[in-house]
Amino acid sequence: MNAQADQSNLESKRPAALPKPQKTNPETERKSLSHHDYTVGWVCALPLELGAATAMLDEEHQMLVLGPGDQSTYTLGRIGHHNIVLVCLPSYGTAKAATVASHMLRSFPNIQTGLMVGIGGGIPTNEVDIRLGDIVVGDSVLQYDLGKTVRGGKFERTGGLGKSPPDNLKMAVQNLRGRHNVQPTRVPDILSDLLERHPSTRERYARPMATLDRLFDAAYDHVEEPNNENTTSCGRCDMSQVVQRPERPDQHCQIHYGKIASGNQVIKHGKTRDRLARELGAVCFEMEAAGLVDANFPCLVVRGISDYADSHKNNLWQGYAAAVAAACAKELLTILPVGQNPCRVTSQGHLPDDVSQKLSLDKKIRPERLETDPAVSEFPAQSQLSSVVETLEHLGNIIQVSTKVSINFTVSHFGANMRRI
């Protein structure tokens, strides 16, 4: 009897069992925003590039339901004050890039800023000492394989001199270049932070040894390994054909600014690379940006140099090149101002619902209402209205309102009353 009592007392003194930890779903713990909250679209062409971009996010957000016809898979998150939409293309090429960009703009109608970030082929010249792992920020994009073949078999390009990024991105780039004149780029620090927060990525995104950065003479072709056993080595190539270049004082990447040549073919020939460089004045080759520009996706192209666009091209530098390009894009976003959502036109040529509501087009818009009606006084500035008008005229659409007042009439009266608003 006493033994049973002692056993009972002993059990009563045992500490209560700790509650089992509840399994949590990381997706449900993430912040959930609306489609209209995202203002930056970030496009990648490779999973390796998407991984580097995702690692740059300060936080990830919950996924959102997409509209009909959009089959893309997005990663949502935030960098600084900017809400970001990340997407990876299903395959290479300008056409795929254009399709994905169009879907993104429909699903996330307030995207103002576009980024095409990933790897590219560098074009080293006497004027531009570009190395593997360096970064190229495009001041224009030219589709070099768009044109026609004329008499004598001559190819004439019809892409013009190239298309520049929108003004807000050009000004942000100028700001960044100015900062780098007095202080170094933050790319090495951002990359170090990535490797510290995600140690498992070190092997994938860390910088290869500088001795593996070899630029061969343009006329010297790669010697294949037996049975293509090692595609990351030039073990059978003649090292006397390596171009001698001065050593850099440190191993940090450098940022170059110039024209980016975009097309639907991979350039893996040194002489062709140099010929196109002379004709185009480009510093980098890639395969997607021209499609984004044609899809009216206002973007800046940032490329990490993973090869020299010659027959010695391999995968050794791709991870590091993808990481430094993503780090450069993040540095740019940290100084890019967060603006109000612009007055955009939908893909069907209509004003977005929020703009239509503010205009209250179902009511009469008289000059005196510009002073008294808050819905009208909140409408964007005249320059944005003019942009809407130009776009609508280009699409051949006429906005019908009950008062039969055209947008041009609104612009003229809005401008006349700017001082009173």
pLDDT at 42 over 90: yes
Q: What is the pLDDT at residue 92? A: 85
Q: Answer yes or no: is 339 within a domain.
A: no
pLDDT at 298 over 50: yes
What DSSP character marks residue 80?
Answer: T
Residue 229 has what pLDDT? 56
Structural domain contains residue 217:
yes
Q: What mean pLDDT value characterizes the chain?
A: 80
Residue 359 within any structural domain of the chain: no
Secondary structure of residue 285 in the 3-state scheme: strand
Residues 164-221 have pLDDT tens digits of 999 999 999 999 999 999 999 999 999 999 999 999 999 999 999 999 999 999 999 9
Residue 389 lies in a domain: no
CB 220: neighbour CB atoms within 10 A? 17
Q: Domain for residue 58, yes or no? A: yes
d(CA 419, CA 381): 12
Residue 316 belongs to domain spanning: 40-149+162-223+238-244+251-334
Percent of all residues in the chain with a pLDDT value above 70, rounded to a whole number: 72
Number of domains in the chain: 1
Count CB neighbours of 71 within 10 A: 10
CATH at 57:
3.40.50.1580
Whether 384 maps to a domain, the answer reads no
Residue 232 lies in a domain: no
pLDDT for res 154 = 84
Q: What is the pTM of this model?
A: 0.75
For range 339-364, the mean pLDDT:
42
Structure tokens at 228: 């293509």
Q: What is the largest CA-CA distance in the chain?
A: 113
pLDDT for the residue numbered 276: 93
The answer to which of 194-203, 387-396, 402-411 has the lowest mean pLDDT is: 402-411
Nearest to 266 by CA among 327, 219, 326, 311: 311
Q: Is 34 inside a domain boundary?
A: no
| Contact criterion met (CB below 8 Å) for 421 and 413 | no
Question: pLDDT category, 321, cuts 50, 70, 90?
Answer: very high
* Residue 115 pLDDT: 97
Question: Is the pLDDT assigned to residue 306 strictly greater than 60?
Answer: yes
Tokens of 215: 């630029």
> What pLDDT, on a 0 to 100 scale, did the predictor assign at position 231?
61
Confidence band for 317, pLDDT divided at 50, 70 and 90:
very high
Task: For 227-281, write each residue's pLDDT tens digit.
Answer: 765 566 788 899 999 999 999 988 889 999 999 999 999 999 999 999 999 999 9
User: Does residue 350 surpass a pLDDT of 90?
Assistant: no
Q: Which of 194, 231, 202 is nearest to 319 (CA)?
A: 202
Does the structure show a pLDDT above 70 at 335?
yes
The yes-or-no verdict on residue 414 having pLDDT over 60 is: no
pLDDT at 224: 87
